[in-house]
Structure 1
Amino acid sequence: MPTIVPAATRTMLLLEVFARERRELSNSDLARLMDLPESSCSDLLYTLHDMGYLLRTARSKRFYPTARLLDIAKEISASDPLFAVATEACELLRDKTGETGLCGHVVSGVVHVLAFAEGTHPLRYVSNVGNKIALHVSALGKAELALGTPEEAARQLRLKTLKQVAPGSITDLAVLERQVAEAREQGWSWVENEGFDGLAAMAVAGYVGDQPLAISVAGPTQRLQANKETCLQALKEVQALVFHPREGSTPPRAAGARRSTPSKVTGPA
């Protein structure tokens, strides 16, 4: 019968501590945070350092993870069919619009970025795989919530504090629920200046297998406003290629008719 391997558990807990603390840590720091004897913690740190997963500062003797773990995670993700589908969708959106394409999924009241393709304009939105975006300011999040019931959308929106993170942020739950209802009716969501001043995004959602996902284009508000119909058309085309209606569901009604020293816009999309 399988049993728990304590050394493996400690290794993963150690990495989670680094992710939570986001700073260099000494052996004594980690022993305290993990509730381990310093001798046991020291052996674990020595092993991971010897394997190249941790670096150690020369003077302070503190540890921090190297990029090796990230590199391995990227290699694993690259073989995930869902990651491949998400990446291809983002690249298609970028090619059709010139704007940054993103794919994300709602997890416990937060939008997780699964893939992105950086736009081609000198001024463009940038992101990273693994970034987390506040649900209440995200076009991705609102588009995915529109796939489900109003009750589930309200539950997800209540899981995190509705903070004012930009001038256009909406923190009124009733207004957010109306936004999701509108996205459900028209088949797409739109945000502007909600997660970052000067940033807009438009998104649609659907299913890959049983997995709900959303895709979006994001960029400077003024440019997206001027090219709204083009962006919507691109989203609909990629949506038809990538997603399928969930069995037994009714599809939403369609709406109407790299360069040197670039500037980048960062923020939620």
Structure 2
Amino acid sequence: MPTMIPAAGRAMAVFEVFAREKRELSNSDMARLLSLPESSTSDLLHTLHALGYLVRTTRTRRFYPTGRLAEIARQIAENDPLTTLAQEAVEQVSARTNESVFFGVLDATAVKIVAVQASRLPLRYIIEVGYRAALHASALGKGLLSLLPPDEARDTLARSKLRPVTAHTVVDIDTLMAQIDQGRKRGWYEAQEEGSEGVHGLAVAGWLGGRPAGISLAGPAERMKKNHEEYLAALVEVRDALMAEG
């Protein structure tokens, strides 16, 4: 069975301390904050400094992280397999429905869109990758909230800005929780002109790599109603092939 490597844990703890303190720190500062001997902390900081992860000021001799860790994280994120899987999912659903399709993940109190495939039809709904959709006003948001324990979902809504986006937006938490529970029981979620006038959204959700994720399509209300069963079948099939059901 794999074992924890203390040195690796301490190295990561150094960056967590810097993130929390948001200031330059001396060796003694870090030793105190990590509850480690100064000699051990000195070796740890020296190693990270030598590797280019920390810089040391000339006058105060205090340490602070360089941009190297952020650059490495950026390079990792650019090749995140989630992005590839998400793009494949929206392309598959779009090929079957020719509607605009979106893949989103839970990001604090919003839905972060990580993949988009736009419809080729004249009347279509379009948002961009990186867009943050309101949890309470989107089918995706309701789907993602359904994956959380009810108390956590309610708390997340309470911390969100539940402003009315359209005349149809629901801002009452009890009503939203009832909608989420209904969607959980039937296996899909909807937003009827709640995020944009004249636009209906349909979504399914599940777990992907330990993260709440969902696939949604959206389009003009009448077209969505007419093709509801066909669109839902496409969403469910792609979701089931990609991730565990919520």
Work out the number of aligned pairs and report it: 184
1:104-253 equivalences under 5 Å are: 104-245=104-245
2:80 match: 80
* RMSD (Å), alpha carbons: 2.0
| Contact kept? 1:90, 1:103, Cα under 8 Å | yes
**Are 2:137 and 2:169, in contact at CA under 8 Å, matched by a contact in 1?**
yes
User: Runs of 5+ in structure 1 lacking a partner?
Assistant: 13-68, 246-250, 252-269
Q: Secondary structure at the match of 2:125?
A: strand
Q: Take 2:77 and 2:231, find their aligned partners in 1: how far apart are those partners?
A: 28
In 1, the alpha carbon distance for the partners of 2:152 and 2:76 equals: 32
| Percent identity of paired positions between Structure 1 and Structure 2 | 35
Q: Tell me, what secondary structure is at the counterpart of 2:214? A: strand
Note the C-alpha offset of 1:76: 6.1
CA contact (8 A) 2:189 2:204 kept: yes
Distance 1:77 1:91 in 2: 21
Q: Structure 2: how far apart are the matches of 1:131 and 1:227?
A: 26
Q: State the Cα distance separating 1:148 from its structure 2 match.
A: 2.3
Once the two structures are superposed, residues 38-90 of structure 1 have per-residue CA deviations (whole angstroms, 9 ceiling, x without a partner) of xxxxxxxxxxxxxxxxxxxxxxxxxxxxxxx9xxx7x8655211100011111
Deviation at 1:244, TM superposition (A): 2.0
Amino acid at match of 1:81: P
Does the 8 A contact of 2:106 with 2:211 survive in 1? Answer: no
- After TM superposition, the structure 1 = structure 2 runs for residues 12-161 of structure 1, keeping only pairs within 5 Å, are 77=77, 79-161=79-161
Is the contact between residue 103 and residue 113 of structure 2 (CA under 8 Å) also seen in structure 1?
A: yes
Residue of structure 1 equivalent to 2:59: none
Kept in 2: contact 1:94–1:120 (CA 8 A): no
Opposite residue 103 of structure 2, the aligned amino acid is C
Change (3 A) 1:92 1:78: farther
Bigger Rg, which one: 2
